[in-house]
């Protein structure tokens, strides 16, 4: 089933052979509201609806398969038109702010050893409309989603075209009208992608999954570091910082006995020198088959004490969605299509 999402009103005019140009804006506006059935687009004439239905029996290509909820997160399992499965999550914080966490790929090629998605390998990139449609499904849970993080399955910067196209769609003042500063692109440290993002000067926020500021450790945990070691990553971040006034977030997934020593804290302090950034500490969300452990409170407190001493600017992220495996690094799906 083709999709009418991630298209401009002008593209809809072309695609649907609309005789009156203003109809493109009308249909666009229904689509943004989540209306995917021409019969419900009440400002279109009956004959026109029939013609459009024959062309596009549904305007959306994906379908919701399963919903799982806990107190602060709702995870949706979405089936794509080729049978592949992806997940997306709605996160709610203490101030009732709602954030959509969207996937950009089916699986992921990056193979970070602490992340469940990494165990899937890359199945395929998502099309721009498949990214946008996740938001449409999430908005059936709550219309007041104000923020987007591209932190679901996949490495967003490895699917740059679809990522940028979906950002453009979400930002359109006639559509979702979500400001760039409310959108965060997360990367494991794909340096060419960070440079591209810097070049296009789209003022979204950037989050980097750092996990270790020691090359040897990072090589072991994240294979991206072998291609783009910390020196290159820091160079790319400094470049991004020159065109952006937004603070960069360095995600630091805490792994028991791996990256929580005093030496780890010292190296982290060194890495943050000259960067306008905050380190977001995330105690690892357990995934039994991956062989890591979550540090206990004592280990976390000791690491924080070291960071205080080295004057590192940090926060600790309260874990959301752990009960429904919707927390950071826990997303993964399996379908016949996803199996390679
Ligand atoms: S952490 Fe991100 S980049 Fe790394 S394997 Fe998981 S989804 Fe891919």
In tens, the pLDDT along 9-59 reads 999 999 999 999 999 999 999 999 999 999 999 999 999 999 999 999 889
pTM: 0.94
Strands 277-283 and 314-316, bridge-based pairing: parallel
Given this model, what pLDDT does residue 317 score? 75
304 noted as active-site residue: no
pLDDT confidence band for 94 (50 / 70 / 90):
confident
Give the mutation target among 86, 107, 117, 223 for probing the ligand 1 site: most ligand atoms within 8 A of CB: 117
Q: Where are the alpha helices (DSSP H) in 153-261?
A: 160-171, 191-200, 215-221, 224-227, 230-243
Question: Per the domain annotation, does 339 fall within a domain?
Answer: no
From 59, 188, 277, 328, active-site residue = 328
Question: Per the domain annotation, does 333 fall within a domain?
Answer: no
Same domain, 31 and 169: no
Same domain, 117 and 198: yes
CATH number, residue 294: 3.20.20.70
pLDDT confidence band for 121 (50 / 70 / 90):
very high
Question: Per the domain annotation, does 81 fall within a domain?
Answer: yes
Given this model, what pLDDT does residue 340 score? 40
Same domain, 75 and 39: no
- Rounded CA gap, 224 and 205, in Å? 21
User: Count of domains in the chain?
Assistant: 2
Give the mutation target among 86, 89, 105, 108 for probing the ligand 1 site: most ligand atoms within 8 A of CB: 108
Q: Measured in angstroms, how far is the CA atom of residue 312 from the centroid of ligand 1?
A: 25
**45 Cβ contact list (under 8 Å, min separation 6):** none
Other CB atoms within 10 Å distance of the CB of residue 50:
12
Question: Per the domain annotation, does 141 fall within a domain?
Answer: yes
Same domain, 86 and 167: yes
Same domain, 48 and 156: no
In tens, the pLDDT along 205-257 reads 999 999 999 999 999 999 999 999 999 999 999 999 999 989 999 999 999 99
Same domain, 172 and 289: yes
Q: Single out the residue in 55, 72, 89 at which a domain terminates.
A: 55
Same domain, 50 and 73: no
Collapse the DSSP code of 121 into the 3-class scheme (helix H, G, I; strand E, B; otherwise coil) and give the result: coil
Q: Measured in angstroms, how far is the CA atom of residue 251 from the centroid of ligand 1?
A: 12
Given this model, what pLDDT does residue 203 score? 95
Same domain, 15 and 87: no
By percentage, how much of the chain surpasses pLDDT 70? Answer: 94
Between the CA of residue 117 and those of 26, 47, 133, 151, 251, what are the distances in Å? 38, 46, 20, 11, 17
Question: Per the domain annotation, does 3 fall within a domain?
Answer: no
From 79, 87, 133, 251, active-site residue = 87
Same domain, 36 and 178: no
Q: Where in the sequence is the domain holding 26, given as residue range(s)?
A: 9-55
Same domain, 27 and 142: no
Given this model, what pLDDT does residue 42 score? 95
Question: Per the domain annotation, does 51 fall within a domain?
Answer: yes
Question: Per the domain annotation, does 78 fall within a domain?
Answer: yes
Same domain, 30 and 174: no
Same domain, 38 and 108: no
Give the mutation target among 188, 207, 280, 328 for probing the ligand 1 site: most ligand atoms within 8 A of CB: 188
- Candidates 33, 25, 30, 22; CA nearest to 8 is 25
The ligand 1 atom at the shortest distance from the C-alpha of residue 115 is 6
- Candidates 274, 277, 269; CA nearest to 245 is 277
Question: Per the domain annotation, does 294 fall within a domain?
Answer: yes
Residues in the ligand 1 pocket, defined by CB under 6 Å:
108, 110-112, 115, 117-118, 153-155, 188, 209, 329
Mean pLDDT in residue range 140-168: 96
């Amino acid at each position: 089933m083709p999709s009418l999402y991630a298209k401009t009103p002008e593209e809809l005019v072309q695609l649907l052979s609309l005789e009156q140009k203003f109809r493109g804006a009308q249909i666009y506006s229904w689509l943004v509201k989540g209306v995917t059935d021409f019969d419900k687009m009440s400002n279109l004439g009956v004959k026109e609806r029939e013609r459009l239905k024959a062309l596009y029996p549904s305007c959306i290509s994906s379908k919701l398969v399963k919903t799982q909820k806990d107190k602060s997160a709702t995870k949706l399992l979405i089936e794509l038109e080729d049978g592949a499965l992806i997940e997306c999550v709605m996160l709610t914080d203490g101030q009732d702010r709602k954030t959509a966490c969207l996937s950009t790929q089916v699986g992921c090629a990056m193979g970070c050893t602490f992340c469940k998605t990494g165990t899937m390998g890359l199945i395929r990139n998502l099309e721009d409309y498949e990214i946008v449609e996740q938001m449409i499904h999430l908005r059936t849970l709550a219309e007041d989603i104000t923020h987007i993080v591209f932190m679901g399955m996949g490495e967003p910067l490895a699917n740059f075209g679809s990522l940028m196209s979906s950002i453009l769609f979400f930002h359109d003042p006639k559509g979702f009208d979500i400001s760039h500063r409310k959108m965060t692109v997360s990367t494991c440290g794909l340096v060419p992608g960070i440079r591209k993002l810097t070049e296009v000067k789209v003022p979204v926020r950037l989050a980097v999954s750092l996990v270790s500021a020691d090359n040897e450790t990072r090589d072991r945990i994240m294979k991206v570091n072998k291609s783009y070691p910390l020196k290159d990553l820091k160079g790319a971040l400094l470049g991004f910082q020159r065109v952006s006034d937004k603070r960069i977030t360095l995600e630091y997934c805490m792994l028991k006995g791996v990256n929580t020593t005093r030496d780890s804290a010292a190296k982290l302090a060194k890495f943050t020198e000259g960067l306008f950034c905050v380190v977001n500490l995330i105690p690892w969300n357990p995934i039994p088959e991956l062989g890591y452990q979550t540090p206990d409170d004592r280990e976390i407190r000791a690491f924080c004490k070291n960071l205080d001493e080295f004057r590192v600017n940090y926060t600790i992220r309260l874990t959301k969605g752990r009960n429904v495996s919707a927390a950071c690094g826990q997303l993964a799906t399996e379908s016949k299509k996803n199996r390679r």
